[in-house]
A and B are shown apart, each in its own frame.
Chain A
Amino acid sequence: GEDVEQSLFLSVREGDSSVINCTYTDSSSTYLYWYKQEPGAGLQLLTYIFSNMDMKQDQRLTVLLNKKDKHLSLRIADTQTGDSAIYFCAESSSSASKIIFGSGTRLSIRP
Chain B
Amino acid sequence: DTEVTQTPKHLVMGMTNKKSLKCEQHMGHRAMYWYKQKAKKPPELMFVYSYEKLSINESVPSRFSPECPNSSLLNLHLHALQPEDSALYLCASSQDPTTKAQYFGPGTRLLVL
Contact = CB atoms under 8 A, between A and B. Distances in A.
Nearest to A103: B42
Interface residues of A, number: 21
Contacts of A40: 109
A101 interface: yes
A40 to B, nearest CB: 8
A48 B101 contact: yes
Given A97-B50, A97-B56, A98-B48, A45 B42 contact: no
Nearest to A98: B45
A98 B50 CA distance: 12
Interface in A72-111: 88, 92, 94, 97-99, 101-104
Nearest to B44: A101
Given A48-B100, A97-B55, A98-B56, A41 B107 contact: yes
Contact of B105 (A30, A42, A45, A99): A42
Contact of B43 (A43, A48, A97): A43
Contacts of B51: none
B7 interface: no
Contacts of B81: none
Contacts of A44: 104
A48 to B, nearest CB: 6
Interface of B: 4, 6, 31, 40-43, 45, 48, 50, 55-56, 90, 92, 97-98, 100-107, 109
